[in-house]
Chain A
Amino acid sequence: MEAKAETAANTINIDGQEIPFEHGQTIMDAAFAAGVYIPHLCHRPGLTPHGSCKLCTVDIRNRISASSTSDRRRQTKFTVDADSRSVSACTTPAAAGQQISSNTPALNEVRKTITQMLFIEGNHLCPSCEKSGDCTLQAVAYHLGMLDGHFPQFFPRREVDASHPTVMLDRDRCILCELCVRASREVDGKNVFAIAGRGTAAHLIVNSPSGKLADSDLETGDMAVHICPVGAILIKEQGYEVPIGRRTFDLHHLGEAGLEKVVLAKTVYRDE
């Protein structure tokens, strides 16, 4: 497809702010470039967008004629906001003239509920987790004003894999974002991780003959080791080295430019 001739037309509108975009960018890319923060967990610039966590959910106002997205979706009267449609900012291409709401009380409430879902389906005991303070899930929860898990805990039983000499995998905290899966394939040039199973039984598996990390070709320097937004993949023997008060989200906030680098570097260089 040809890029539009007049660049002036190539803007989207997020919460009243006109934001330029280039052909091929997603809504998230454009927002990111303009310094507009849209909450996200399964997204990281440079990796293939995934669209699974749904934290980046935004509403796009429909053009005059209601486009029939999914017929199944229109079937009950309970559908709210029939004049707009919901999309994931991280996977939806930016298109000229999109009128997008993102940072609204209603949408942040939705995001809070989704974050609560992520908390209660796993076993997240923040006070005893060494990722506390460096954890993006926890930071997002604070950002959204989440005070509790709200729903009854699922208390799943999940396996811990401590077989690897330098890396630890605690599936209790895995939120199935597949950042490690993609980082391993797309950046490290390996294929250490995958998701298996279905529904709430979905879980992270290791691509090795025994299914154990020790038998995989994972190395401490791999991006897959550092990218985990929660405390599911941890580097051994460096927990708690950085005191509370000096951890990532004590010093930085989520929407900050360049945060991605800080988060990745944190576990490598610990206390700067």
Chain B
Amino acid sequence: MSPAIRTASSEQLSAFIANTCSKSSHLLHVLHELQHRFLHISPEAVIEVASFLDLPPSQVESAVEFYSFFSTVPHGRFDILLSNCTSCGYTANGQDLLQLLCDRLHVLTGKTRDDGLVSVDETSCIGMCDHGASLLVNGRPVTGLDAVKIMRIAELIETGTPFENWPAEWFDISDSIRKIGLLLSEDITAGNGLRESLMRGIDGTLEEITQSGLRGRGGAGFSTGMKWKFCAEAEGSAHYVICNADEGEPGTFKDRILLQSHADAIFEGMTTCAYAIGAELGFLYLRGEYRYLSPHLEAVLARRRVQGLLGSSILGRSGFNFDIEIVVGAGAYICGEESALIESLEGKRGVPRNRPPFPVTHGYLGQPTVLNNVETFVAAAHIAQNGSAWFRTTGTMKSPGSKLLSVSGDCAYPGIYEYPFGVSIKQVLDDCGAEDVQAVQIGGPAGTLIGRSGYKRIIGFEDLSTGGSFMVFGRKRDLLDIIVNFSRFFAHESCGFCTPCRVGTTLLKNAMNKIAKGQGTQYDLDEMERIGTLIKRRSHCGLGQTAANPILNGLQRFPQIFRQRLARGDFEPSFDLDAALEEARQITHRDDAAAHLE
């Protein structure tokens, strides 16, 4: 590269980076802006960002390469990502819309078109599962895709039509709330919960949350009151509150609805927590797929500052100072894991930390930190306003309160359903109009796959716990394809830190592909069970510990879907011998019969 070009571009970059950093010096923020403006992050940009933020260049480079939404080669001016989720993915309506779009635009998946106009690729679930096949174009979701819409999109892109001139209704994402309960039936009044908390005092607030029996809604179900107490008691130079809005589990979209329509309750919950633990700064870590919600959330924050619900001397209480920053993720499911999320917030790759110590004592910047799910903070705000007794009026002994379910897949009424804990699977299936059900995936790919015999089981920490994903698969679905899809998901999302998950998820993916192609044998099934069990038990974090669940559940509860695809014989090679010769054929420019195996 000529030095002249380099200086010119680095001046431009410096100016751009300086400007970006004046708004926020979070590495992820700067990288998002660069990607957006220059369609990629060049090696020069990496060096420039590193020197500006005073980071080692390797840290910036490693982050760029970790997150799916950043690229080192230029993407198209229209950058399209189709979801590959089983509910909002490009084959959700039985047709391969990815292929259709690529054909139409004469572009290969993952390769930017030569004229730089467009790039098309696939991405993990984008949380639009109640709206059918969906995509992101330059970060904006377009839902309800079918062949006709895909053709229209291709046309609009080919003619370089700016988004203002696309049908505006395409970008409206409606809230499909189907059933309301404790939390959704009435919104809190901004500030009410906080006022109540100030009256209760710090100890009283911690007590109220603990008494409510509220348990984390992100999946693990730890007592929220205890978490806040441990953090309040932990010593540090500062305390932090983090809201986990990474919502990456395929089939989950309830946090999106809360972010869109109940942002006040989320921030009220976070502020209540800040009061209880003595935090002055909080973060909402928003998944990159929901970046389009950021202006709305910023607006709510701004209003709350004007209302005296954020900032210094909140509600006139001197010494009660707290504010919230929004940090946007960049396409990495693992960043939903609490310690990986904190690493990501610190501008690093999202790799889970060793625990102990836990975030309540050593979290953000090594300081005591409370990290809770979006729904947990919403419930906390309601408890602050209405009291713990009110909360305990629904749910079960072990799981008080309600749970928001994101119902999607083969049912008449996909959407958000709020139920008291203890609701049976059958009840949910009846309510969402699911007929002729083959199986239900509770808690997303990381959760549990159940068949008919499990429909009497209940949603609750004592039985089937879920972050909220509830995917219905009808009789017509090929369940094996679903499991193939899930095994690809985990191999794609493994952070790569520990051996069992990094290598093992790819081994499982390859084995599932082999079986789906009709080349698997009983040996492969036994191997999957052995490797799956090993990954589950020996992996470093929850991702690896759950990655084999779809396969293990499938082998246990739906053995026939595997068996009917097996090749005869005990053993088949894992690779296609003829295909393995392809590279040699290309090098020698041969394609005659003698260059092929039978």
Tell me the A residues contacting B by CB distance below 8 Å. 49-55, 57, 70-73, 75-81, 86, 88, 91, 93, 110, 113-114, 117-118, 120-121, 151-152, 154, 176, 191, 193-202, 205-209, 211
Contacts and interface: CB of A to CB of B under 8 A. Distances in A.
Contacts of A151: 507
A199 B496 contact: yes
A117 B461 contact: no
A72 B47 CA distance: 40
Given A51-B540, A113-B534, A71 B221 contact: yes
Given A70-B545, A117-B504, A196-B66, A78 B496 contact: no
A195 B349 contact: yes
B307 interface: no
B537 A54 contact: no
Contacts of B495: 198-199, 202
Given A196-B58, A201-B496, A76 B556 contact: yes
Nearest to A115: B499
Contacts of B221: 71
B293 interface: no
B326 to A, nearest CB: 24
Interface string B552-574: 11001000000000000000001
Interface stretch (B97-105, B406-414, B431-439, B486-494): B486-494
A121 B575 CA distance: 16
A70 B529 CA distance: 21
B540 A52 contact: yes
Interface in B460-502: 461, 465, 491-500, 502
Nearest to B574: A152
Contacts of B540: 51-52, 54, 88
Contacts of A202: 495-497, 502
B542 interface: yes
Interface residues of B, number: 61
A198 B354 contact: no
A71 B62 contact: no
B502 A200 contact: yes
A42 B574 CA distance: 30
- Going nearest first, the 3 A-B pairs with the smallest beta carbon separation are A202-B496, A207-B58, A196-B62
Interface of B: 43, 47, 56-59, 61-62, 64-66, 219-221, 332, 349, 354, 356, 443, 446-448, 461, 465, 491-500, 502-507, 510, 529-534, 536-540, 542, 545-546, 549, 552-553, 556, 574-575
Contact of A57 (B507, B536, B538): B538
A152 B332 CA distance: 27
B61 A196 contact: yes
Contact of B61 (A50, A70, A75, A205): A205
Contacts of A198: 65-66, 332, 349, 494-496
B549 A75 contact: yes
Contact of B219 (A51, A71, A201): A71
Nearest to A122: B503
B551 to A, nearest CB: 10
B356 A207 contact: no
A52 B505 CA distance: 15
Specify the main secondary structure of chain A where it touches its partner: loop
Contact of B56 (A86, A113, A191): A191
A19 B58 CA distance: 41
A70 B220 contact: yes
Contacts of A209: 47, 57
Nearest to B216: A71
Given A114-B499, A121-B502, A207-B57, A78 B62 contact: no
B536 A78 contact: yes
A55 B500 CA distance: 10
B62 A54 contact: no
Nearest to A86: B537
A86 B530 CA distance: 16
B549 A79 contact: no
Nearest to A48: B354
Given A54-B540, A72-B219, A199 B58 contact: no
29 contacts: A51-B354, A51-B498, A52-B497, A53-B498, A54-B499, A54-B539, A71-B221, A75-B447, A75-B465, A76-B536, A79-B537, A80-B533, A80-B537, A86-B537, A154-B503, A154-B506, A193-B58, A194-B56, A194-B61, A195-B62, A195-B496, A196-B65, A196-B349, A197-B66, A198-B332, A199-B495, A200-B502, A200-B506, A209-B57
Given A117-B507, A194-B58, A78 B533 contact: yes
A72 B529 CA distance: 18
Nearest to A175: B499
Contacts of B529: 78
Contact of A113 (B66, B531, B536, B546): B531
Contact of B542 (A72, A117, A200, A208): A72
B494 A79 contact: no
Contacts of A93: 356
B546 A73 contact: yes
Contacts of A154: 503, 506
A27 to B, nearest CB: 13
B503 A118 contact: yes
Contacts of B349: 195-196, 198
| Residue with the greatest number of chain B CB neighbours at <10 A, chosen from A55, A72, A88, A93 | A72
Nearest to B552: A78
B31 to A, nearest CB: 13
B62 A114 contact: no
Contacts of A49: 354
Given A78-B552, A152-B574, A200-B506, 17 more contacts: A72-B447, A73-B546, A76-B553, A76-B556, A78-B533, A86-B538, A110-B534, A110-B538, A120-B503, A121-B502, A121-B506, A195-B349, A198-B495, A199-B492, A200-B494, A202-B497, A208-B57
Contacts of A79: 533, 536-537
Contact of A72 (B500, B533, B545): B545
A71 B217 CA distance: 12
A95 to B, nearest CB: 10
Contact of A71 (B65, B66, B220): B220
A50 B497 CA distance: 10
A76 B557 CA distance: 11
A197 B546 contact: no
A177 to B, nearest CB: 10
Contacts of A51: 354, 498, 540
Most A CB contacts (10 A, CB to CB) among B58, B219, B443 go to B58
Nearest to A209: B47
Nearest to B446: A72
Given A72-B542, A117-B504, A197 B62 contact: yes
B262 to A, nearest CB: 25
A197 B537 contact: no
Contacts of A110: 534, 538
A32 B221 CA distance: 37
B469 to A, nearest CB: 12
B502 A199 contact: yes
Contacts of A53: 498-499
Contacts of A71: 219-221, 461, 465
A199 B546 contact: no
A34 to B, nearest CB: 23
Contacts of B446: 72
Contacts of B62: 194-197, 205
Contacts of A78: 529, 532-533, 536, 552, 556
B545 A207 contact: no
Contacts of B575: 152
Contacts of B57: 207-209
